[in-house]
Structure 1
Amino acid sequence: MAWSKEETLSRDEMRAIQLAGLQRTVAYVYERNAHYRKKLDDLGVTPDDIRSLDDIRRLPFTTKQDLRDNYPFKMFSASPEEIVEYHATSGTTGKPIAVGYTRQDLEVWSESMARTCTGAGIGKNDVVQNIFGYGLFTGGLGAHYGALKVGAGVIPISGGNTQKQIMLMEDFGSTALTSTPSFLMHIYEVGEQMGVDFKSLNLKSALCGAEPWSESMRHSIQDKFGITVCDIYGLSEITGPGVSFECREEQSGLHVNEDFFYPEIIDPDSGEVLPEGEEGELVFTTINKYGQPLLRYRTRDISRLTYGTCSCGRTLVKMARVSGRSDDMLIIRGVNVFPSQIEAVIMKREGVSPHYMVIVERKGVMDSLRVKVEVTEEFMIKAAADVLKGAEFDILEDVAAVRSKVRHLQQDIKDVIGISVEVNLVPPGSIPRSQGKAQRIEDRRPK
């Protein structure tokens, strides 16, 4: 499978491309976008002031609120005739964020996702079962464009239809999957009940993303399906999926398509750029986009950047797997908590499944955390068997085992996040499943 030459450029060569793209983008938005012209004028910055990549620090940040305030199309820099495709975020907290693409933007998106597919070993001999949602959500079409560009066959099934998903894997000979990790786990649960041996199918790889997930969940999916799972990253505001991707050789950090999307890590409080390797908020500037180019967009995702040559041969900068989102971050009694931290603990314990819900409550003046975790079918079967035997000693032993499991989970989570939590073990299937991004937090605190 052929790579693009940009994936193996020297650092000097890449910086030359990035500077040219940055200068072109700043001049373009200054001329064609009233929002950015005002922002730059207020800062006393003109396009001629961008002489080096370090000058990006003189540019204004862009936030999600800017996009909401300019809904639907005031953040577009291309004319209506140049926009050939529209997408939008879900808008669960108000108006959605509209996204517009020119034909050239779609080419960049397709190339970004083609690199993503190639990184996971997906090529012209593969059949990609695309489980990401089609429609205004960018996941489905982004994965579709990339798979077509590498020459793969695509099954555009989208999300849901769990039993049909399994049927097509068997009948169509799917070799690669694209999905949220939580929905793949759900597919496995249903398939297990149907007696399906996923390891006997043609599946060999999967691209997973669109929600926070842990390394433990990756290992679980790989073990259950017998496949290689690579992480992907993207957000609708920048382009959709394909901003960065893991390679199957290392599965450690995501290669950023930095000739299209210039990355920075900043201190989320001060806005200052942080050195290589330090964790902070991920910021992107689109440097080869025309429909809706963005300057220094604050993603609210927490990550870090490292430079060097990967064992796969790529020289693209790597971003660490996102550890959480600063706007999804919970602050409990002064402690920053991400659901992915809790998930990582759960995935290491036997007898419990990766389906959980973090419930935030306020008791008196104090905030508290309660974590509902499903036990596995095997755990329930053993407990039910003891009850049917009527063995009082065994039943008491099972109760003690549950209490011990709860205590251990509570202690392990406390060790990781630094505060005490209450853990409730619940029966299999009792936590609602999502066909898109898994909803992990239920905040019951008074607004």
Structure 2
Amino acid sequence: MIWQKEESLSRDEMRLLQGERLRKTVAHAYENIPFYKKKMDDMGIEVGDIKGIEDLNKLPFTTKQDLRDNYPYGFFAVPMKKVVRVHASSGTTGQPTVVGYTKNDLDTWANCMARALVGMGATEDDVVQNSLGYGFFTGGLGFHYGTEKLGATIVPISSGNTKKQIQIMREFGSTMLVTTPSYALYLAESIRSMGIDPATDLKLRIGALGAEPWSYEMRNQIEELLGIKAYDSYGLSEVIGPGVGFECTHKNHIHINEDHFIPEIINPLTLKSLPVGEPGELVFTTVTKEAMPLLRYRTRDITSLIPGECGCGRTTIRMIKCTGRSDDMLIIRGVNVFPSQIESVLLNLGEIAPHYMLIVDRVNNLDTLEVWVEGKEGITFVDGMRYMKEIEKRITEEIQSVLGIQVKVKLVEPKSIARSEGKAKRIIDKRQL
């Protein structure tokens, strides 16, 4: 089922629609956001120079730092009386970024979210347990209004309080779970520790998971433990929130709602555009947002784009699941390392739990990487130290084979790595302490 006709336009039809919307957006941004007027004037770019999406690379980039520098409302393109809601990032690593929405923006967002839910197989008969945080974080309210737009039943439990989550899941008959991948794993672990069998005691059938990178191996773990089909939800608060992209039931990569968000891939070092299919940094230009349009926003996410029709009938361009973020990438002794690479190796091994931590340090001017991973209860620790060392050795060899660098693996007791009810913290980089 396809929610809206724009999801199945031909390439020519989509390019025409994108071009028309891009021209209007560039004019709107230039006339109402001082940052863009100055940037374009300094670059010698006039609004009339942008005739279609082939002219995207003439436009300036926008970064998260630009948004922080213009905190809180410097990127708003409409008067405050037309802004009906604001969201903001947590600001844990600096000045938060603030995003504004008009009534039309909220309707666009709800439509994009309804598309995502339909793509994942949801219908108006579903009971959607929304375990993402409400408030400034866009995840909770994004899925909330998308669910209402679809006509399904929303259970706005928000994040945290795991025992209550499981109680509501059982008693309310939740059929769809919305949360982060790491919390889905924690819920699955908690459900089984309470003696609950998801197959017989729960009605869950779909998981909409996002807000943090996760591997296909982690998806397999979640699906097996919860007895559901788990799908990736992609979004950024700055662009709109969740609803930028989603996996459909064919799991043939992530469909981008490109009639609203035009994607590009660039080389993060040279900033040059790359051909479709080549991996690089994902960049978005919003072409329907009123309150806060963004031109060529650098997401820092590393991926590649895939054209062509999906088996579901959608023709929108798709993106490969992100391998990581250019600003989350670790450089260990000159080698680029993404946490997702290590996660894939770990989750392919059957004798460990899907919980890990990466400890980066510098000893005698040499970078070191230590991987802490939990052993499975009843498997790793019952056979003593020798068996543990054998598993550590096997994990070490697998990681070194994939990454090409030496690492130290430490097998730790089950449930000794801190769990998260939101985004998981996987890296401790002591080089920056």
**3-state secondary structure, aligned to 2:183:** helix
Q: Are residues 1:432 and 2:388 paired? A: no
CA RMSD across the alignment: 1.0
CA spacing shift, 1:13–1:446, aligned 2, 3 Å? closer
Match in the other structure for 1:80: 80
Find the aligned partners of 1:263 and 1:421 in 2 and give their Cα distance: 36
Deviation (angstroms), 1:283: 0.1
Q: Is the CA contact (8 Å cut-off) linking 1:132 and 1:139 kept in structure 2?
A: yes
CA spacing shift, 1:446–1:37, aligned 2, 3 Å? closer
**3-state secondary structure, aligned to 2:84:** strand
Match in the other structure for 1:418: 404
Find the aligned partners of 2:32 and 2:366 in 1 and give their Cα distance: 50
Match in the other structure for 1:238: 239
Match in the other structure for 1:395: none
Name the amino acid aligned to 1:74: G
Give matches, 1:91-240, under 5 Å.
Answer: 91-200=91-200, 201-240=202-241
Query: What is the TM-score of this pair, normalised by structure 1?
Result: 0.95
Find the aligned partners of 1:380 and 1:43 in 2 and give their Cα distance: 61
Match in the other structure for 1:378: 378
Match in the other structure for 2:3: 3
Q: Is the CA contact (8 Å cut-off) linking 2:22 and 2:52 kept in structure 1?
A: no
Deviation (angstroms), 1:446: 4.5
Q: Is the CA contact (8 Å cut-off) linking 1:176 and 1:204 kept in structure 2?
A: yes
Deviation (angstroms), 1:2: 5.0
Q: Is the CA contact (8 Å cut-off) linking 2:128 and 2:174 kept in structure 1?
A: yes
Could you give the per-residue CA deviations for residues 213-249 of structure 1, whole angstroms, max 9, x where no partner exists? 110110111111111111010010000001000001x
Q: Which runs of 5+ in 1 are unaligned?
A: 384-397
Deviation (angstroms), 1:381: 6.4
Q: Which runs of 4+ in 1 moved over 4 A?
A: none
Q: Is the CA contact (8 Å cut-off) linking 2:2 and 2:115 kept in structure 1?
A: no
Name the amino acid aligned to 2:420: S
Find the aligned partners of 1:229 and 1:369 in 2 and give their Cα distance: 31
Q: Is the CA contact (8 Å cut-off) linking 2:355 and 2:373 kept in structure 1?
A: yes
Could you give the per-residue CA deviations for residues 309-346 of structure 1, whole angstroms, max 9, x where no partner exists? 00010000000000000001101111111111111111
Q: Is the CA contact (8 Å cut-off) linking 1:199 and 1:224 kept in structure 2?
A: no
Match in the other structure for 1:352: 352
Match in the other structure for 1:333: 333
Per mean C-alpha deviation after superposition, the further-off stretch among 171-180 and 411-420 is 411-420
Find the aligned partners of 2:13 and 2:147 in 1 and give their Cα distance: 28
Q: Are residues 1:42 and 2:62 paired? A: no
Deviation (angstroms), 1:380: 5.2
Find the aligned partners of 1:130 and 1:214 in 2 and give their Cα distance: 22
CA spacing shift, 1:87–1:308, aligned 2, 3 Å? same
Find the aligned partners of 1:435 and 1:245 in 2 and give their Cα distance: 22
Name the amino acid aligned to 1:434: S
Name the amino acid aligned to 1:218: R
Could you give the per-residue CA deviations for residues 158-194 of structure 1, whole angstroms, max 9, x where no partner exists? 1111111111111000000101011011011111111
Query: What is the TM-score of this pair, normalised by structure 2?
Result: 0.98
**3-state secondary structure, aligned to 2:284:** strand
Deviation (angstroms), 1:202: 1.0
Deviation (angstroms), 1:40: 0.5
Q: Is the CA contact (8 Å cut-off) linking 1:345 and 1:413 kept in structure 2?
A: yes
Could you give the per-residue CA deviations for residues 353-405 of structure 1, whole angstroms, max 9, x where no partner exists? 1111001000010111001101111225634xxxxxxxxxxxxxx32221111
Deviation (angstroms), 1:350: 1.7
Q: Is the CA contact (8 Å cut-off) linking 1:351 and 1:378 kept in structure 2?
A: no
Find the aligned partners of 1:404 and 1:444 in 2 and give their Cα distance: 28
Q: Is the CA contact (8 Å cut-off) linking 1:131 and 1:177 kept in structure 2?
A: yes
Deviation (angstroms), 1:134: 0.5
Q: Which runs of 5+ in 2 are unaligned?
A: none
Match in the other structure for 1:17: 17
Match in the other structure for 1:266: 266
Match in the other structure for 1:365: 365
Find the aligned partners of 2:262 and 2:378 in 1 and give their Cα distance: 48
Name the amino acid aligned to 2:418: P
